[in-house]
Amino acid sequence: MADDAFHELRVGFTAAVSHELRTPLARLLALLETAELPGADTRGLLEQARGEVQAMSELVDDVLFLSELETGRMIVALGPTQIAPVIEDVVEALTPAAERAGVELATLADPEVAVPIRQRMLRVVIENLVTNAIRYAGDCVRCTITAERTDEGVVLTVADNGTGVAEDELGRLFERFYRGDRARTTHGSGLGLAIVKHVVTAAGGTIEARRGPAGIGLEIRCVFP
Distance CA 70, CA 65 (A): 9
Predicted pLDDT of residue 32? 84
Predicted pLDDT of residue 67? 65
Predicted pLDDT of residue 2? 44
Which residues of the chain register pLDDT less than 70? 1-21, 23, 58-59, 61-78, 176-190
Predicted pLDDT of residue 76? 65
Give yes or no for a contact between 155 and 221, defined as CB atoms under 8 angstroms apart: yes
Distance CA 176, CA 9 (A): 12
Predicted pLDDT of residue 73? 54
Residue 155 sits at the vertex; the CA angle it makes with 148 and 161, to the nearest 5 degrees, is 90
Which SS3 state, helix, strand or coil, does residue 216 take? Answer: coil
Predicted pLDDT of residue 160? 94
Distance CA 81, CA 84 (A): 9
Predicted pLDDT of residue 17? 60
Distance CA 11, CA 13 (A): 5
Complete domains list, the chain, with CATH? 2-70 (1.10.287), 81-224 (3.30.565.10)
DSSP states of 123-187 as a string? HHHHHHHHHHHHHHS-SSEEEEEEEEEETTEEEEEEEE-SS---GGGGGGTTSTT---TTGGGS-
Predicted pLDDT of residue 7? 45
Give yes or no for a contact between 75 and 106, defined as CB atoms under 8 angstroms apart: no
Predicted pLDDT of residue 165? 85
pLDDT tens-place string over residues 23-38: 677 878 888 888 888 8
Q: Are strands 206-211 and 153-160 parallel, antiparallel or unpaired?
A: unpaired
Distance CA 8, CA 149 (A): 40
DSSP states of 65-128 as a string? HHHHHHTT-S----S-EEHHHHHHHHHHHHHHHHHHHTEEEEEEE-TT-EESS-HHHHHHHHHH
Q: Does pTM surpass 0.85?
A: no
